[in-house]
Every structure is written in structure tokens, then in C-alpha cells.
Structure 1
Amino acid sequence: MRMIPERLHRDCKGLVLLGILLGILWETRCTQIRYSVPEELEKGSRVGDISKHLGLEPRELAERGVRIVPRGRTQLFALNLGSGSLVTAGRIDREELCMGAIKCQLNLDILIEDKVKIYEVEVEVRDINDNAPYFRESELEIKISENAATEMRFPLPHAWDPDIGKNSLQSYELSPNTHFSLIVQNGADGSKYPELVLERALDREEKTAHHLVLTASDGGDPVRTGTARIRVMVLDANDNAPAFAQPEYRASVPENLAVGTQLLVVKATDPDEGVNAEVRYSFRYVDDKAAQVFKLDCNSGTISTIGELDHEESGFYQMEVQAMDNAGYSARTKVLITVLDVNDNAPEVVLTSLASSVPENSPRGTLIALLNVNDQDSEENGQVICFIQGNLPFKLEKSYGNYYSLVTDIVLDREQVPSYNITVTATDRGTPPLSTETHISLNVADTNDNPPVFLQASYSAYIPENNPRGASLVSVTAHDPDCEENAQITYSLAEDTVQGAPLSSYVSINSDSGVLYALSSFDYEQLRDLQVKVMARDNGHPPLSSNVSLSLFVLDQNDNAPEILYPAVPTDGSTGVELAPRSAEPGYLVTKVVAVDRDSGQNAWLSYRLLKASEPGLFAVGLHTGEVRTARALLDRDALKQSLVVAVQDHGQPPLSATVTLTVAVADSIPKVLADLGSLESPVNSETSDLTLYHGGGGGRGLLRLPGLRHRVAGAQASALAQVTPAAGFRRQLDRSAGVALCGRGRGAGFPADLFP
């Protein structure tokens, strides 16, 4: 067995340039690998060292995905990945594959998948002498009239030998006899037609039948032969042979013709009369395939179909029809039938390479699949157009031979479209056109190309003060359109300080849920708002992040009672006294209670009321101003010392309050009060200060602070602060009697605690 591998190098410059212009992503095929093997090899027989001619080691075949690309027919070859050889996948019969062809050449494609490179392999199947010549009819009867002239010729059956060359039919030989010889005619197509030649006149009365043996031999080594037995029947005289109306008959029929359809009628006539003019028709030459498809009516000469026509299997049939009368005279004619192609085969699409997913950041032109498109029809019926259905971001590029590359036409975005169902349609140019759809599912693999995005541009939350530690404050949520770990978000707080303390001492955040918790109890009076920056970070590689601002506002609670600023509660044991002249008219401003509340809003809205008075109805307190005024004129019967309890209350829920006790001294004149004060002995080290008068507006109202006196017995300093409205004469009298400056400032000493019993 001889195997001949060879590489035929071609000029690749044009192909490479075309490949660059078209953007083909694999190397342009520039080589062919050829092998030659004899037919009838056993399955697994070695054809050639394919790994060597691919430039690979045997072990690399599997690693690099080397495989044979199927072409839609039974695979005749296979790869032995262990030895690196191309071997037969079954019995190879040259006659079955290439009947009648001078050269039997089988083509296959070998794909190196990791480089998406294709090698075309051409395997020539050499003929061996595995077929002996044979006659379709092993026994034949020839009728010859006894008056047949010598040198008259009679056609003999044709022998078949499917081999070619010297292995095919080479010669005929006739068994020795005294009446006949053999002559072989060579047809225009090289066929050999044996004919029986009458060498000696026949005599039916001497011998009615002659038995001959026709032997056909090929030129193989060893020579193979086939025989046919011929019985020559001698008939009575019939001096006319049939004759066909045409030397050949032609018909062109579509391949989809129904079985049983009549194709044509051959007609031969015999000028004899009676039974000598009766003609019977038969196939003199018809191959095996034609015999399975066509039938000849022996009486009418009608040729019709008994099997289905297939242009792809055989597009042309040649037959020879013989017409013979009862005397054995015959004529022959050729019948040529052309089977016209009908578009009865849809295109075949084979995925030779396919990627199930592609990263979303893949560049434009990334290869998705390699498709092999083929149509078994011919001419326009076999011309195929491929396209992608729908407006998808992919395109088909024509590459080598019948191969198409499915590539991306834009950069894909998984967040827009996570997967595609691609339908590739292959349509031929037949009438009507036939199509084949191939469906490809492609997933777009995620890359971390999206940072987390918060659902709001900013967040704000309101927290009642005095909240418990660990209380949940607010939840922030970010969304990442990526998937899996690229979409797993971790929340954290940006480092910062608040009033000199780290932010982490005030709040914390759950890294998984984004819930913010209080780590301390907030005091509205100390901290009214807190500005926090929250960061959301995904787990991609590299990670992406985004920030959002969060404003936390502390809400006031009514947790502070009103604080009375004036009159201030004495700290030295003295009693504060407010002065009111007996001449005071109703509505006279005696003093004003001043209070504040550290809360805010309604919690700090204060109202004043007179809770208790030693002389009910004498004084009134402004509800919102805290001003203490006389409600009626002072009478002589009114006590010199009046005691008032004023309550200040906020509007919180529940409300909080504070009280202050006021002592009001009622006197007709200041000198009298001073005389009473002067009767008290003043200590040597007593501290005095100027009386301070703050003018309070119209009507001469002001704030009077009397000189301070230290009580001898109590030993404590007292201060009295009175808000009065003295008349001008009263002020001058006070100035002359007390000898103090009305505009002076200083720490005032009050009346002794026992001034008013």
C-alpha cells in the first residue's frame, strides 16, 4: 500500500491582503494536504501522518481541538489522536463513491479550533482490481434466420466492470465453434461492444441451436473474468430487420417527477408482415442505477420511471434500447435522459465552532461562531445567501469557501441585554427559495463596568433626641446593575469628626444592609444635625464605588423646663423686693418675669400666669409677656408687703413649668422706705453699690436697684430688684433722700430679710 502526502504551496499574498481587508480573525488557508490510498482498506487503516503535516505533536491534537469538520455525509475518515494519524472510518469503495470517474478525489476540512484555522485535505482513492467483469444477463438467446448472410453481425450482451483503467474491461473472447466469430467495436466513449459474426451459413435442418460462451476479461493482476452463455436459435427465413425512427432519443425531466410518469416512447418498425413484423423492445445497455429508476415496456417501447429521480445523485442517464423481431433481427438506438435540478434541498448549516458566552467589553469584531453553509442543489438552486434576522448587534462575514464568521458589530452591554437568541437564516436562490434557520443562544458575560448607584441623590432622616443607643436611624440603598460579585455591595461611612469627636462614635452602618444605627443618645440642645457621607462599594475587580450625602436632623423633645432669668433667685439668703407706689394707677407695670426654655418650637413657647397672691385681684400677669401689673388702684388697707407666685409653663407634651415668688413693697414715698432702712445698723464692712435704673420706655418706667445693706443679725447680703414707674417728683425725692445717682451701675444690696414682718 503506497501513501503519498504532499503540500501544494500557493501564492498567499492576495489571500492575506483580502483577509486583512475583510477583518478575518484567523489565518488564511494557504496549503492543501494530499494523500493517496487504495480502496477497500480496513476500518482504522492509516491514511497519513496528519499531525506532522499540521506541524503539531500527536498529543496537541486534542489539546488544540483539532477535528474533522462534517460535510453532511457519512464520514469516511477519522483522527487517531493517539498516533496523530488520519485513518479510515469505514470501508471505502471507490466504485460506490466515484462511479465512472477517472479520478476519485475525496475532500475534507480539518479545523484547528483554538486558532480557528482550516486545512483542506484531499484524499485520492486509487482503484484496485476488486471487481470482475460481469454480464447482467448470464444467459442469452439469439435467434438467427437460417438464410442470414455470412458476415452478418449480431450484437452480444455488454459486460460491466466498475473498475477503471487496466482493471476495467479489456477484452472479449468467444468459445471455439465452426459458424461464428467475435468482433469487438469501440464506442466513441471508449466502451467495447462485442458482436457475433456469422462466418458460415446456418442450416436449421442440420442444427437448430448453437451453444456459445462469451468471456469478458479485465487487465488486472490477477486477471478477472466473467462469462455469459449464448444460445443461438436458427429460425426460418425472415429477411428484414427492425429499424428505429431516430438514431437517439432525448428527454429532459425535472427531478421531482412522480414515480410512474411516462418519459418517452421509442419506436421501431419492421417491413415484414405477420409475426415476422412483430417487434419486442429491451434494454441492451443500462447501468445498475438506471435499471432501478427506469422501466421499458417491451411491447410499446414506453420508458417510464419506477423510482425517484435525484439530480444530486445522478443528473444524466444514458441507455441503449434494442428492438428485435421474431426472426432475431434487431436494431438499437440510444436514449439520453437529463434530470433537471429542482430546488428540493434546503441549505445545510453546520456550526463548526461556537462560543456560548462573550464578555460584554469584547471589542467589535469578536468571533462568536464559525458556520459552514452548503446546498446540494446546483447553479442558482445551490447559491446561498446568509443573513441574521432582526436588528441584532451582530453580522456575518464571508470567509474561506462556504464558511461564514458570526462576529459582534458593536461593543455589547450586559446591563442592556444579558443574552441573545440569534437566528441565522440561509436562503438559496431557487424558485421558490428554500431556507434553513440556525438558532444560536449567546450569553453576555458580566464585567464590573457599573458603580453602585444610590436610589436617591441625597438622604435625610429625623431623629428624636434622647434616642436609645443602637436605634435604627435610616436605611440607604444602592443598586448595581452588574451581576454576581460585581453587584455585591458593601456600605461604609467616610471618616469625619463631629464637635471634635470621630463620627464613628456617633453612628455606625451595617455593611450589608445599609442600615444606619445610633451609637449614642443625641441631645438637641448640644447637636442639632449631623452630616454623613455613605460609600457603597461593589466586590468587582477592580471594585467601583459611589458616595451619597446623608443629613441627620435631631428633633427637639420637651426635656427642659422653663428657666426664670428675672427675677433671679437670690443666692445670699436675701429677699428680692419689687416697689410699687401707693399712687400707682391700674395697669401700672410693677415688674416683668423673664424666662427662657432651652427647647425649641412649641416646647419653648412660654405662657405666664399668676399662681398665688396674698391679695387676690390686686395684680395681674401678662399671659405671653410675663409683665406684672396692678389690676386696680392701691388702697390704704392694702398691706405694705404683697407676695405673688408666678408660674411659667411651656407648650410641650407633657408641659413643663417653673415658678417664682415675688415680694412687692407698697409705699407712699421712697424716703419713708429709706428711713425704715436707715434705722437698721449697717456693718462697718458693708458693701454698697449704686442704684441702677433702666428706663423701660414711655411713662417714666424703669428698673430701680436700691443701695445694699447688710443685716446685722442675719449677716447675709440681700438684694432687692424692683421694677417701678416713679413720677418725676418721686424720682427727685429719691435722689435727694438717698443721695444716689439714678444713672449709676453696680451690684445692688437688697433690703434686710426681716424688713417686712
Structure 2
Amino acid sequence: MILTKTQKDFFHSESVKRSFSARLIFHVALAGLSQLYPPQFDTFPFLVQYSEGCSTTKVLATLTARGSNGFITISANDDSTRARVQIIQTSSGTSGGFFTTVQIRQKACMDRETIGTLQIYILDVNDEPPSFTSKLFQITVPEDTQRSTEVLQVHASDPDNGVGGVVRYSLQDGGGLNGTATLIIKVLDIQNKPPYFTGQPFKAHILEESPIGTIVNFVFPIRADDGDTGVPHDIQYKFTTGACIEFFEIKQNGSFGIVQVKKRIDRDSCVLYEVGGICTLTLMALEMANSTGLNLGPTNTTTSIEIIVIDINDNLPMFRPSMYNATVFENMMQVSIAIEGSRIEVTDEDQDDNGRLDLELQYINGTKVQGIKPVPDKIQGNGYIMLYLQDSFTFDYEEVQGEVYKLVASEEQAPMSKTHCLIYLKIIDRNDNLPQFSKWSYAVDILENVTSSQMILTETATDKDSGEFSKMTYSLQDGKDIFTIDNVTGEITKRENVVLDYEKRDEYVLTLVAKDGGGSLQSAEVVVRLHDINDNPPVFSQSSYIGSIEGSDPNFEITVTASDRDKQNTTNSQIGFSLIDSPLNMHNNFTITTTWKNEESMGKISLRNSLVYEKLNKTTIELYVRAIDFGNPSLSATSTVIIHIQACSSLSSNCPCGKSLKTRVTSPTHESTDKYHPMHSIAGIKHFVFRYDPDSHVMVAITQKKCYLYIMSVTDSDDVQVTDGLRRLKV
């Protein structure tokens, strides 16, 4: 027998066959796992005789087989036997070991002339194992020996006859009996296989900021074995590539590799941040082989290891920058606040849950701002934030021109870990306010009759808006021919050489207009009232007044009237009357009182004392009346009142003489009416006044309130001088 390389690579065993034949061949086999102890027939006829014929029920023989390794089956072994007989199992069991009994029945016609005498004989029982010429064979074969290369020849013999004596060789257990010999094949290992890693995959976790020298613990320890087990070499470990190679090193510990922290590991920066904390390194296992050996094959292998750096919450949130300027227009709703630099940036260098931030806008005192919301209000690691006005919230520049807020970023996992940035918000004014005067109407009093310019009013409007919107210009809508205005200061003045007369127009109503820088208008009323000065004297309604009086009539009365064009119901227009010096001081005999009616002043002249007619040299009385106002300075006017003296209509104590005396002259008793004779009474008077009637030649002498009557002849008239109707008698 020749053992080849091919035979080394596989093993097989054939079922051991035991056959019995009288031209009939049967096979018995175990249903067990091993043929080390084959089954045996315990009853088997050496000769079977039966008559020819075609019976199909004839029992030719009964066979029993026993074994110890499992259930036994008996079957025909070739087609000729199966065509002639039928094998029927009659019993089986495990009593005393495994056994099976079968009957062999005729199945087909048997013709003696054709078949002849059927003899059933038993072949040699395979009861002798083969034996090798030596019990031990030993050989050394290089592991790289090529296929089909002959490496050893062995020989075995079997004393059995027939097929039982045929020896077959295999490198595994076979059926039937066998002989064994020890074959030791030493495979000579050569350097043709690289190391191999055990326990993969290599994964580990380590906290960031672990101290240098900290051992990284892997789920499976790092170990590599030499693939060439016959010529094993020591293994050396090293990292060859990987983004995080600078942070870790591997050291030898017997057959194992120990990974340690080489450099500070910060999960939140540089390479570790870029790779997301997942460090993948290429680990090489290198055989420390002698380079002088022949046929040196691969000596190293590589694998990937994964070290996950776990983030710890070691960083506070950070705003970049820490202060922002922002603007927003007043009276705007649901708009974003303009941030200088576009957006607010916040960063937390911690990773995963440690980098989750909540954002809230607060006042400086820490209370939450209502109406302004940061968007988004939650950030993972890094983000940009805008501020939005919510709902109906607006700013009014006139109430607030700016605010200072702080935007607070708090870590979800550690709410006390927070930071903030300051936001200086400036409210931008819009022209949403009209100019405003302090009053809707202004009243100004100025003097009349002023030729120079007069300052009427300096009044400015205010505007809550700012900047250009608050700048004002002023104008007048009317009265521009009389008044002028400074469009910057708003000062209103009366034009020079324009004289205002209260008596013509006492009031001017102007419209003052203020316009702001945005074009919004507001107006106010300016009432210019002229202050009346006493520039008009009283005026009598008549140039002179005429009246008459009979004797010393106590009911005598004459009324003079006057008016004043100055402002009514003021001292400038209020008039008082008085009597001034008159001829013969007659004003002493009269009095005048002042009354007012329908804005007209009246002076009522009445008799105060009886008249002394002896002092009169004519038949009329002249009084001079003055009308004076109460202005400052006072102005006045005078008028003349002429009072005619009339004859009395009747004799009374108030009328000592008059026209009635004419008739009494003709009365026969006339001379007796007077107490004293006329000639006697006027004898000592040098001058006297008389009234003379030329028709009757009656003269009335007036003296000491008494009337003396004289009847004159025509010739007597030569002695009478006539002057203004009064005759003066020379004595």
C-alpha cells in the first residue's frame, strides 16, 4: 500500500460485508455507529435442499444474526439473489444484544435442469484482522510538500480467504475487521502563515480626559498567535495608521497587547471632535522571525481596533461673541430682530446629551422676557439663534428707546451649567407721532396803533419721534399780509409799518402749522387780540344843545349825550360829564349827572340854585359841558348848552316876572299889587335889567327877584338903548 498526500486529506471507511451463498448471497449490516465488532450469523444451514417448481410460499431457510453495536438488517446482496428469493424479517430484539431473524422464501420459479442443484455454502467468515508488518511507522514531511507526493509505503496481510482477505487501506476507521498500525507523520512547519488575532472584534470605551497612562480595556484582550504553530515566534504589536494614532500606544505584555493613553484626550476638540470620538486604529501584529531563514513567508497581519472616547460634561456653553447689538423698528409685530452680524452663535463643545442646550431671553435681573422668543430655543452642540417678536408684542419708541437683555444657554443635563450673552437692543423710531403744541389755542394781547414790529408769540411744537422726524418747520395759513413767522423758531411777529386799529378790528385769528421731518402736520389756533389804548376822545352827539327855563323852575332839565369809539365797557370808553367855567359863573347854578344807556353816555343838567337875574345882561344862559373818558391818559371834549330865559306863564314865587305882566299892567288895580312903589324901589339902583314890550310900552325891571313895572310913554323910549332884546335904562 502506498499512502499519498491526497489520502492524507480525507478519510473514509467501507461497510464490512459478510456474504453467504448457495448461489444466493446475503448481507448483514449494523445500524449502529461502528463496525469495530461486526455481526455474526448464529444459525446458518450448510446445505439447503428443495424441489424445483414455482412456489412462492416455500421457506428455503431461516437465518439469525447477532451483534452488539446496533440494530441488524439482513438483505440480498446481488440482483440474482433478489430475483430468486424474498427475505422476510420474522423477529428482532435486544435480548442478549441486538439480533434479527429472517425467512428466505422462494420468489421465482426454479428449474433444476437449468439451475442444477442449488447449494448454499458459507464463504470464509472475515474473522481475522489484517496485520501490518510493523506496528509503528514514523516519517517527517515538510508542510509545503506538494500534492500526490509519495511520502511512505506500508504493507499489511490478512489470512482470511476471498474478499475477507482483501486488505484495503485508509486513514480512518473502516467497516469490518481491521488491523492497525501507528502512523506518525510529523509535519515540518515552515514560515508561511502570518499571525492571526484572536477574540475579535477589538472594541473599547474610555472617558475623555483620562490621565496619560490609563489602560484601555477591550471586551476581548488583544492577542495574536503565530499562524506557523510548528515554528512559533514572538509577536510584537504596533499601531500603523489611524486618525487618533497620536493619542494611544500599545505595549507588550507577554502574548497580549496593552493599549494605553499616550496624550491628553479631549473629545471636544481637534481630531477627536472631527471623528466624533470614534477612533479607528490599524493594529499590526509582527512576528519576530529570523530574517536569515529560508523561504521566509508573511510575518505580519493587521486588524482594526475601535476606541470610543466617551464625552464628559466638562465644557460650559459659549457665545461667540459675548455681546450683540440688535435693532428693531417700533410698532412692528411678529418680525425678527435684526442682529448685527446676522445671527447669534452658541456652542457647547460637549457631545451628545451633554451638548443639549435650552435657550431663554431674560432681563438683566433674571426674569423671563415676554413677547420675544429665541428661535430655535433648543440647540444640540452648536447653532445659530434669531430673536422673534411674538403675537401682538411691539415696542413704542416714545416709551422705550432701548433695552438690554441677556440670552441664557443652559445645559439640559446640568441646568446650573449656564452662560449668557448680552444683547443691546436699539428701538428705531418711525414717524408715528404728530407734532404736538402745548395747547390747541393760544390767545395773545398786543397794543393797537404800534408802527414798529411786534412779537406776537414764540411757541414750538414737540414730536415724540426722534431724529429727522422730530425736526419742525412752521408756517401760517392766514394773516400773512399782517403777520410773519420764522419757519425754524416758530416766532410770530406783526410786520413793521402795519398799524392795527382796535376800533376797526379788535381780533385776528391765525392758524399756526407745525410740520415734522416726516411730513406729518399739526395746527393750533392763535388768537391775536388788540389791546385798546385810549386814542379816541369822547364825541358829543350834537355840537351844541339849546333849552329854556322859566324863572327858577326846579324841574328844569336838559340832557347832553356823548360816545367814545374806544373799547366798550372799559375805562377808555366810559365817559363822565362836568360843567366847566361859564359866563357869569352860571355853572354854579346848575349841576350835571352822568348816566349810561345803550353804550351811550348821558349828562343830565338840572338847576341847583335859583337864578339871580340881576346878574344877567341878556335873556340867555350859556353853559359849557365837558365830556371826559377814564382812560390813561384821559381824553375829553366840550360842548355848549344855551338856555333861553322865558316869561313865566303864571305868577308864582318861582317866576317873579314874565309875559303875563303885560296884561296886568292894564289892570286898574295893578299899582296896588306890589308892596313898594316902583319908583321908590329902583331909585337908588344905578343899573338894572328890564324887559321892554314896545307894543305896550311896558317895561319890566328885574332886580332882587322882584319885578318892577314901568309904563313908559313913546317919548320915554328915547332914553332906552336896545341890545339883544334887553334894554338897559340909563338913570
- Shorter-chain TM-score: which interval? 0.3 to 0.5
Largest Rg, 1 or 2: 2
TM-score by length of 2: 0.46
TM-score by length of 1: 0.44
